[in-house]
Amino acid sequence: MPFVVPVDPAGDALNSVSYRLSVSPQWLALVLFGWCVSATTVEAAPIPVYEVAEVVFVGPRQSATDAPARDVRLAATFRHANGAPEITVEGFFDGDGRGGIEGNVFKVRFCPVAAGEWTITGVTSNAPELAGQHLGETLTATESTLHGFWMPDDESAGRRWYRRSDGTHQYVIGNTHYTFLTEHGVSGQPTGSNIAADMAGNARYFKKVRFGLQSGQYPHPTEKPWLDDDGRPSDDGGYSHRPNPRWFHQRVDVAVRSALEHDLIADLILGGPDTAESRATLKAGHNSGDATPYLRFIAARYGSFPNVWMCLCNEYDIKRPSYTQAEIASHGAALRKHLPYATPLSVHDGSKIGWSAKFDALPEWADHQIIQKKLRAIAPAAEAIDFVWRGSEGQGPRRKPTINDELSYEGQGDRHSEADTIAAHVGALLGGGYGSTGEKYGQKLGQYFWGAFDPEKHSAADNLGWLRETIDREVTFWRLSPEDGSDVFPGLNERYRVLSWPGREYLLGTDVAGRDLVADLPPGEWRITRHDVVAKATAVLATEARGRFSFDAPDSRAVLFHFRSNASNPAPPESR
């Protein structure tokens, strides 16, 4: 048996379990929950379905002044033993494979989507050294409990909700750390946190973290995401065709792999968030305006991770440099062409109208809509989501998941209280969509920029985590859609919102106290539960209710009443 040395994303040896695959005496690596395993010879060992395998190639040596993301093409095709599916993934240059800028290491990342043997049936490259490497080699994937990729659920109510590859559903509430990859904050000082710790901390409360791939407002003093024409590290996104292997190996890879370990979505912002240099990536000013090498590199490096979502640009339309809807759609189509899996992809719309109607007339590329509306209460937060889903006048429903990714930043920066943030996210749910938050104590100040996640400061985090876990455990939310609800809940005012699965399940939410509320229940027995999200308290109001049911709403900024038919929906989602 060969000696196999596990290495961490920075390339240091670790005391960890070794994993092996059946290949010839070439380099091959396997990424398992963030650990990279490599050896000159490796023996048979299976990889779980929906994990990420990393095949290492030896190619032409690249210096810091070369542009391999633009000039060297590599792709490998993996075919299942049944003949299908067949998946082609592109490769990328990774320096020396251990965080060094120069070297001859190229990689292909692949995620098996079915148990069984997978064979590398094709390896193409414009570099003779790479073409044909690993051809005919195999890896074996085994059944796993991993959930896999995210995709819009065609069978969900209004196609508003995401499902996973294994058919399960988890509700998404996100957090924001725009520039946390630099691990630096005000006055260029280190934040004292680190990328992996931030991801682990967020995973206790949230299902998604959105962050930029570059420096932005708080750059690292020496480490940079790009290399200029002289091979020097740079923050200038105009050099996006020359990604710095050290930055992506030691920072972005760490974030994505750490998130994968916790089944946390890593929502990658390819342009932005705020500075002109960080927003210039899609302009590709130093590559004659051609952003294809950058998009191809991102698709190759991160498109095989089931936990990755992608956002082309933050506030694409209101900050400089800005992009037109046609430009964004063109970049989206180009990126989608290179993505090997159904990776969620969209762009952050910064306008007050929500999602631009101009996208409706352009070819499809985005699988969800991102909006930006800072809101403090249930009703307007619900309406913002449902308004965008309903679509522009004359177009009809857009039938895509909708996410308010700047729903409520808690803190003095936007003057949003803990209760405001909680209520807004309950509203997003009741509007048939998702929301994201952040901690902001001043203009461009706080965890929403530099990370260093601290739930004591972002005090709504525990309530939002409690809400998310309660939804996953109790509510068949993907069957629910916003409804008037007056047939079941007569006499409600504008402070109430209803999600409905007619005759089977209802979710009623409010932020105002009320007495002698009434539910005219459909036939059969019903279980009725109250969830006070501010107090993080659940109370069962009835287990066999029939007919007209009276109840009171407590004085809380965010309370949900869950009505579930015992006959048609006897068990909560967790136990089904």
Number of other CB atoms surrounding residue 3 within 10 Å? 8
pLDDT in tens, the chain (576 residues): 222 222 333 333 222 222 333 333 333 444 443 333 333 223 347 999 999 999 999 999 999 999 999 999 999 999 999 999 999 999 999 999 999 999 999 999 999 999 999 999 999 999 999 999 999 999 999 999 999 999 999 999 999 999 999 999 999 999 999 999 999 999 999 999 999 999 999 999 999 999 999 999 999 999 999 999 999 999 999 999 999 999 999 999 999 999 999 999 999 999 999 999 999 999 999 999 999 999 999 999 999 999 999 999 999 999 999 999 999 999 999 999 999 999 999 999 988 778 999 999 999 999 999 999 999 999 999 999 999 999 976 678 999 999 999 999 999 999 999 999 999 999 999 999 999 999 999 999 999 999 999 999 999 999 999 999 999 999 999 999 999 999 999 999 999 999 999 999 999 999 999 999 999 999 999 999 999 999 999 999 999 999 999 999 999 999 999 999 999 776 667 544
Torsion of CA 162, 167, 169, 175, to 10 degrees: -60
Question: Given this model, what pLDDT does residue 574 score?
Answer: 58
pLDDT score, position 394: 66
In contact, 80 and 114? CB cutoff 8 Å: yes
At 103, list the tokens: 């070297």
* pLDDT for the residue 78: 99
Cβ within 8 Å of residue 233, ≥6 positions away: 222, 223, 224, 226, 227, 244, 246, 247
Map tokens 């991770």 to a residue. Answer: 305
pTM of the model: 0.94
> What phi and psi, each to the nearest 5 degrees, are found at residue 411?
130, 175
Tell me the three state secondary structure of residue 274.
coil
Sign of the dihedral through C-alpha 327, 329, 332, 334: negative
With beta carbons less than 8 A apart as the criterion, state whether 404 and 434 touch. yes
Instruction: Count CB-CB contacts under 10 A for residue 40.
Output: 11
Bridge partners for 370 per DSSP: 348, 403
Q: How far is CA 294 from the centre of its chain?
A: 19
10 Å CB burial of residue 547 (0-12, 13-18, 19+) is: exposed
For residues 28 and 36, give the distance between their C-alpha atoms in angstroms, rounded to a whole number. Answer: 10
Residue 211 and residue 440: Cα distance in Å, rounded?
15
Which residue ranges form the domains of the chain, and what is each CATH number? 5-142 (2.60.40.10), 153-477 (3.20.20.80), 479-575 (2.60.40)
DSSP assignment of 289-314: T--HHHHHHHHHHHTT-TTEEEES-T
Are 528 and 561 within 8 A, CB to CB?
yes
Cβ atoms of residues 472 and 164 within 8 Å = no
In degrees, to the nearest 5, what angle opens at C-alpha 454 toward C-alphas 448 and 457?
A: 80
Distance CA 107, CA 85 (A): 21
Which of 421, 398, 417 has the alpha carbon at shortest distance from 408? Answer: 421
Q: Does residue 498 contact residue 430 with C-beta atoms inside 8 Å?
A: yes
pLDDT at 353 (0 to 100): 77
CA distance 121 to 128: 17
Amino acid at site 145: T
Q: How many CA atoms lie within 13 A of 261 on its CB side?
A: 20
